[in-house]
Amino acid sequence: MAACASFCWGCGEPPVYSRVHEGAVGDTGGAACVDACGGIGAPGGAGGGRAGGAGTGGQKPASTGGVTSTGGATTSTGGNKSTGGSTSTGGATTSTGGGTTTGGSKSTGGATATGGASPGSGGQSGAAGAGGAGGSGPVNHAPTVNASVDQSVVAAGWPAPISATAADADLPDPVRSLSFSWTAVSGPGTVTFGNAHAIATSASFSVVGPYVLRLSASDGMLMGSSDVKVSVSPPEPCTGLCEKPVEVALDSAWSSGGLGNVAACFQTRTPIKGGNCGNFQSPRRLLVNSTAEPCDVGNWSSLPAARYGGTCIQVSEGDYAWAFLTLW
């Protein structure tokens, strides 16, 4: 029988002889040594040389980094051919003669990590490497804002209602409420806000001209904004009293006909000289530039001063649809 090596490569323990197969030194069958590390190696071939086959435990570890390594110096003529090295590609290790072993793993979102040295034939598999972190958490987006002016005609010196809508579907954690801020981006005069930090407020403009206002909304981390253009005109006789008055041209006497039961508003661009009204049932009443006038068919005895160069007549709702108004 062939003699086993005096010590195992890996752990330095003395080998134990085992009759795996019968055969003389150099014979085709060969004998095997079982070392204390658990490996099986073929003895040397003809001429008594010792074979370098890797045992179960791996007598010589293979090199990493893709280099093929031979575990023994000589392959015996009659023995088994054992290749102790391995080829490493992209973190996976293939061991010739001992099956395929995986020395590492490829992680999504991180670099390919090799967990350990590639084993030889039948060697121990290296631990899988830890992969890099992958994916990400929820992403916060800026609030969406849409600003608007709630009045078709904006007069200088008079507050105009302004408002906006704002939304934030993914407020940061912990959840914060939105904060708002109105600012004047451009314009010929100054802008005074009723409450610059309210989403719905009012704005007053000192002089006539075009302005741009901006509402900004913040969720504490990101900010969104919206601009709105405002065209400011000179005030009119009905500015601040009623919206969308009916324009009346006083080239001659003018009569309303039946006023119906609903409220109404009329505006002249020039001062009136006189007027009357009738068929008003209390509590229905008529105001001329905010001053009440009697509606008993008789002509008005006095008139208030012109307002912004003209006259504004307001009629409240009430009974008697045939109520009327005459101006001259």
Q: Are 327 and 252 in contact (CB under 8 A)?
A: no
pLDDT tops 90 at residue 110? no
**Residue 174 confidence (pLDDT):** 56
Convert the pLDDT of each residue in 61-82 to its tens digit.
Answer: 433 334 333 333 333 333 434 3
Q: Are 82 and 91 in contact (CB under 8 A)?
A: no
Closest CA to 213 of 187, 234, 195: 187
Preceding omega of 245 cis (within 30 degrees of 0): no
Convert the pLDDT of each residue in 271-308 to its tens digit.
Answer: 999 999 999 998 999 999 999 999 998 999 999 999 99
Mean pLDDT of 244-270: 93
Q: Are 216 and 223 in contact (CB under 8 A)?
A: yes
How many Å apart are CA 269 and CA 315, to the nearest integer? 18
How many Å apart are CA 26 and CA 117, to the nearest integer? 33
120: left (phi over 0), alpha (psi -120 to 50) or beta: beta
Convert the pLDDT of each residue in 216-229 to its tens digit.
Answer: 999 888 899 999 99
